């Protein structure tokens, strides 16, 4: 007898960092918003502002790439004093994911997921020893669109997507703003039949 499938709870996650990879460089902020839930009956979008998480973190090294830091507009000096300890922030984040994901399997979704997932998974493993998403519980919105649009992945950018798929919110490079914006994009992509 087959085990019943648990629904998936999709959580849009956006991070801002001061370099290209975790370890030598730091995650400076993390934002997350519940995008929706999928079960055997299909996908149900959530209000992306209803369940959110946002924290700023203390840098873990002195190294940074000025151009990467400039994207977020965050102040490393301020974060060195006021930012949360990474272990505490990641522990809070994991607890939040478990709470909003109760009864479902949480799946991180990002645009593109590869960058945000790299930092998110590394920080979770380094500072908490576990990931509430497991080792592979992520979905890339760029790949989802490319598949449904029948396009090569490298041909995809938000500017190539039909306007009705995009969120009306601005992409601000504030991690919570962008997580909410991308949660709307994800729900639109899940509802879109493709070409």
51 vs 49: CA distance, rounded Å? 6
Q: Is 173 noted as a catalytic residue in this protein?
A: yes
Per-residue pLDDT tens listing for the chain (195 residues): 667 789 999 999 999 999 999 999 999 999 999 999 999 999 999 999 999 999 999 999 999 999 999 998 999 999 999 999 999 999 999 999 999 999 999 999 999 999 999 999 999 999 999 999 999 999 999 999 999 999 999 999 999 899 999 999 988 999 999 999 999 999 999 999 999
Query: How many Å apart are CA 79 and CA 69, to the nearest integer?
Result: 12
Closest listed residue to residue 96, CA positions, set 130, 59, 51, 139: 51
Query: Phi and psi for 45 in degrees, rounded to 5?
Result: -70, 150
From the candidates 51, 135, 171, 173, give the one annotated as an active-site residue. Answer: 173
* pTM of the full structure: 0.95
């Amino acid at each position: 007898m087959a085990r019943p499938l648990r629904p998936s709870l999709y959580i849009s996650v956006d991070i801002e960092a001061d370099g290209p990879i975790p370890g030598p460089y730091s995650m400076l902020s993390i934002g997350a918003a519940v995008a929706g839930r999928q079960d055997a009956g299909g996908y149900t979008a959530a209000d992306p502002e209803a369940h959110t998480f946002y924290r700023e973190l203390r840098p873990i090294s002195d190294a940074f790439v000025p151009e990467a830091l400039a994207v977020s507009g965050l102040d490393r000096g301020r974060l060195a004093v006021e930012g949360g300890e990474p272990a505490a922030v990641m522990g809070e984040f994991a607890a939040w994911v478990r709470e909003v994901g109760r009864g479902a399997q949480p799946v991180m979704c990002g645009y593109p997921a590869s960058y945000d997932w790299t930092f998110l998974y590394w920080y979770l493993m380094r500072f908490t020893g576990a990931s509430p998403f497991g080792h592979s519980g992520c979905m890339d919105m760029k790949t989802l669109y490319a598949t449904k649009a029948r396009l090569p992945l490298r041909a995809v950018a938000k500017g190539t997507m039909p306007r009705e798929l995009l969120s009306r919110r601005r992409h601000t490079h504030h991690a919570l703003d962008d997580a909410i914006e991308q949660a709307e994009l994800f729900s639109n992509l899940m509802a879109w039949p493709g070409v």
